[in-house]
Amino acid sequence: MLSKKWISVGLVCAALAACGQTMGEQALVGGAVGVGGAAATGGSMGTGALVGAAANVAYCQSNPRSCN
């Protein structure tokens, strides 16, 4: 159980470190991190991809200085 926590923390850090330059890249990176997080925690990979993509695009569009 502890390893799932650290995997999740690592995936969050990866998502914040690699936002992407375009909206498509942002969605792709967020989706990949969402799938990884879902796989690590036993969740739905489809839901993880959708939530990850939406969250990363929303964050990067709201905070462009943090993502470039």
pTM over 0.75: no
Instruction: Using pLDDT thresholds of 50, 70 and 90, give the confidence band for residue 1.
Output: low
d(CA 15, CA 24): 14
Tens digits of residue pLDDT in 9-63? 776 666 566 678 899 999 998 899 889 888 888 999 999 999 999 998 998 888 8
Question: Residue 40 contacts by C-beta under 8 Å, 6 or more apart in sequence?
Answer: 4, 7, 8, 11
DSSP classification of residue 22: S
Domain boundaries, the chain: 2-67
Question: Residue 67 contacts by C-beta under 8 Å, 6 or more apart in sequence?
Answer: 19, 20, 26, 59, 60
Residue 21, pLDDT score? 85
